[in-house]
Amino acid sequence: MIKACIFDLDGVLVDTAHYHFLAWKRLAKEFDYELTEEINEELKGVSRMKSLEIVLKHANVSLENQKKELLADRKNGWFTEFVHNMNPNELYPGVRELFSRLRRDNIKIALASSSKNAQTIIEILGIQNEFEAVVDGTMIVHSKPDPEIFLLAASKLNLSPADCVVFEDAEAGVEAALAAGMKCVGIGNPMKLKEANRVVNAIQNFNYSDLQKI
């Protein structure tokens, strides 16, 4: 019996994954490196610093830590500019409906995002009160694909991992959910998210009656 749904944020509840992509692409250009959507898949779900390291590796650039911190801050400045221009209408279609069905059935709702901007984003979207537990990038040591973030969410909900289903758009996130001993619904491309127990191309296409059958 599923007792909780744990949602990733960027790319699952809202299209901030695209804003991350645009900001990384802009940074990569400074090294004459053209970041593609394909390579961007590797950046999804992982921490800001880890994402930067992946970009630099592909661009064949090696830098000292202090310089890396500066670049990560620059990228975050561009990303947060997008975020502050967002409005509640950017919440993906189907999210509010899914939340209200879960609440009606007494299934808990949690957020587990690697982003240190998650709290700001959910406040801008006006969904901060929807969650019984919020875990973000400021609260964890190891980001996805490590299961830490999902295990922390389950413990905040007082549930065991087997009671939880995770909704994820990142390969690293699917891996983390399964490593935590949870079921996982992939949001996106089934070729990329093939380890997930179910995959839909958008959260609004998740069939609610499937939840207890995953």
Calpha distance 37→116 (Å, rounded): 22
Of 25, 44, 108, 183, the one binding ligand BG6 by CB under 6 A? 44
According to the binding rule CB under 5 A, does residue 107 interact with Mg ion? no
Q: Is residue 43 within the footprint of ligand BG6 (CB under 6 A)?
A: yes
Rounded least distance, CB 16 to ligand BG6, Å: 8
**164 beta partners:** 4
169 is catalytic: no
| C-beta of residue 167 within 8 angstroms of C-beta of residue 7 | yes
- Check binding of 8 to Mg ion (CB under 5 A): yes
Let me know how long the chain is: 214
Query: What is the rounded distance in angstroms from the CA atom of residue 113 to the CA atom of residue 153?
Result: 10
169 is a contact residue toward Mg ion (CB under 5 A):
yes
Positive/negative CA dihedral, 196, 92, 204, 6: positive
Q: Which stretch binds ligand BG6 (CB under 6 A): 98-106, 111-119, 124-132, 182-190?
A: 111-119
Question: Which of Mg ion, ligand BG6, none does 108 bind, CB closer than 5 to 8 A by kind?
Answer: none
* Nearest distance, CB of residue 157 and ligand BG6, angstroms: 20
Nearest to 45 by CA among 169, 166, 183: 169
Q: Is 48 one of the binding residues for ligand BG6 (CB under 6 A)?
A: yes
Between residues 170 and 211, which has the closer beta carbon with respect to ligand BG6?
170
> For 190, how many CA atoms within 13 A lie in the half-sphere containing its CB?
5
Least CB distance to Mg ion at residue 114 (A)? 8
Q: Is 147 left (phi over 0), alpha (psi -120 to 50) or beta?
A: alpha
Q: Which of residues 5-24 bind ligand BG6 (CB under 6 A)?
A: 9-10, 17, 20
Nearest to 175 by CA among 41, 37, 21: 41
Backbone angles phi, psi at 74, to 5 degrees: -60, -50
Among 47, 55, 98, 150, which residue interacts with ligand BG6 (rule: CB under 6 A)? 47
Beta bridge mates, 133: 110
- The reply to whether 105 belongs to the active site is no
- Least separation in angstroms between residue 9's CB and Mg ion is 7
Could you list the active site residues?
A: 8, 10
Applying CB under 6 A, the residues found at the interface with ligand BG6 are 9-10, 17, 20, 43-48, 51, 76, 113-117, 137, 170
